Amino acid sequence: MVESTNNSPVWHPYTQMKTAGLPVNIVRGEGEYLFDEEGNRYIDGVASWWTNIHGHAHPEIAKAIYEQALKLEQVIFAGFTHPSAEELAKHLLSIVSYHHKVFYSDNGSTAVEVAIKMALQYWNNKGTPRNKIVAFRDAYHGDTFGSMSVSARGVFTQPFQSLLFDVVFIDTPNGTNDQQVIEQLSAAIAKGDVAAFIFEPLVLGSGGMLMYSEKTLNKLIGVCKEGGVISIADEVMTGFGRTGRFLATDYCNNKADIVCLSKGITGGFMPFAATTCTQAIYDVFYSDEKSKMLFHGHSYTANPLGCAAALASLQVFGKERTMSKIGAIEERHAAFVTKLKGNPVVKQVRHRGTILAFEINTKEETGYLNTIRDKAYKFFMGKRIILRPLGNVVYILPPYCISSDNLGVIYSAIEEFLVTIS
């Protein structure tokens, strides 16, 4: 039992430890539920920070990790390989079928770091260095320094701003400015020093679940192809069915040159990530010159337990007809969106796949530190529902195994909350 946050040795992420109160001590999970030490049951409405897709403690994934641990738990991946890494790479490349190579790492931020370094060193290896990256103004790509650099300049990055490298930021498409955004990207590329354009496809997660159209994304990737610039799809949150298709970029005819994968890759069981790329990118590193190798690596690169969990998760997709479950959630969300749009307390109601989001009208500026968040979080926790609003942006992003009844419970709780603040 945790007696106080100040006496605990644990420092929690994105938490003001002095004012947050005691963390809930979760002791087990099952399906869409989490259970605390007192036996209270919570509906996990955010898939445990967007990672859990098939449900907590899924027996097939747990079994796969156990069986792998009895054979091989870890091996250095420089100069060595192992069967699970080779098999997983083949599976991932059957999903990202236009790519030919997989580089493993630890988490979403490091998957992005790998992508950035691939893009920058690609041009350096070619003997024509380029050092500019283009990104959306509202982006979030992670918390390491490279990923922070290509993220929005704001509350997440302010303490480190002077240490981040320069990035060309363009506006985030919103349905009214899409042509302008395409022109901004074209103008940036025309200067000749852009190495890559990085983007969260269709949904900008931590930026507030901002959504834009596949038509616009397709055009933006096309602009990169026409300008000879590398395009990087950060599918860390959007991958593995979250937007209604296996990858968000599956909605587009034009494909990214590099794709970053994490979060749902292991079904929420293990920290793990992969960065995939085209043969054309890999070939620029394939050389007799050692100086042209990709200078990146992690102690736990291609960890066998993570590979086993990812392979098992991919198998569950087929066995449990997971894409059908995703479609059912999407239909329920669409119906609830219709109800929400008539509510004067909310604005900007949107959904894509299993993600539903809306903004609460408040006198405060929209943003991560909007204080309505604390009131909403406390209300939903009182209902034993885990929703973690991004400031005044409330969103639902559940495990795919969630029942129709429990989606209804979440929807009803949201409607009840909106009444309390109207």
138 is catalytic: no
Of 33, 140, 395, 411, the catalytic one is 140
Averaged in consecutive runs of 10 residues, what is the pLDDT profile of the chain (422 residues)? 72 91 95 98 98 98 98 98 98 98 98 98 98 97 97 93 97 98 98 98 96 98 98 98 98 98 98 98 98 96 98 97 98 97 94 97 78 93 97 96 98 97 86
Q: Which residue from 184, 81, 76 is spatially nearest to 136, judged by alpha carbons?
A: 184
User: In the CATH hierarchy, which fold is given to the domain comprising 60-318?
Assistant: Aspartate Aminotransferase; domain 2 (3.40.640)
Amino acid at 97: S
Q: pLDDT, tens digit, for every residue of 238-279?
A: 999 999 999 999 999 999 999 999 999 999 999 999 999 999
Q: Catalytic one among 178, 234, 250, 257?
A: 234
The DSSP output letter for 385 is E
Q: Is 225 a catalytic site residue?
A: no
Q: Do domains 26-54+321-421 and 60-318 have the same CATH topology?
A: no
- pTM, two decimals, is 0.96
Q: How far apart are CA 153 and CA 87, in angstroms?
A: 39
Q: Which pLDDT belongs to residue 362?
A: 84
Check residue 332 and give its pLDDT. 98
Rounded Cα gap, residues 181 and 161, in angstroms:
24
Closest CA to 22 of 4, 42, 40: 4
Q: Is the dihedral of CA 320, 29, 353, 263 positive or negative?
A: negative
User: What are the extents of the domains in the chain?
Assistant: 26-54+321-421, 60-318
The answer to whether 184 touches 224, Cβ cutoff 8 Å, is no
Structure-token pair, residue 324: 């059908």
CA 363, CA 371: separation in Å to the nearest integer?
A: 10
The pLDDT of residue 73 is 98
Active-site hit among 132, 219, 255, 263? 263
Q: Which amino acid makes up residue 352? A: R
Q: What is the pLDDT of residue 4?
A: 61
Query: 274 - beta bridge partners?
Result: 104, 261
The whole-number pLDDT of residue 299 equals 96
The CATH superfamily label for domain 26-54+321-421 reads Aspartate Aminotransferase, domain 1 (3.90.1150.10)
Active site residue 319: no
Q: Residue holding tokens 């899409």?
A: 178
Instruction: Kindly write down the DSSP assignment for every residue of 235-267, as one continuous string.
Output: -TTTTTTTTSSSSGGGG-SS--SEEEE-GGGGT
Phi/psi-derived region of residue 228, left when phi > 0, alpha when psi is between -120 and 50, beta in every other case: left
Calculate ∠ Cα 312-232-281, nearest 5°.
90
Q: For the chain, what is the largest distance between any 2 Cα atoms, rounded to a whole number of angstroms? A: 68
Q: How far apart are CA 118 and CA 323, in angstroms?
A: 32
- pLDDT of 382: 97
Active site residue 378: no
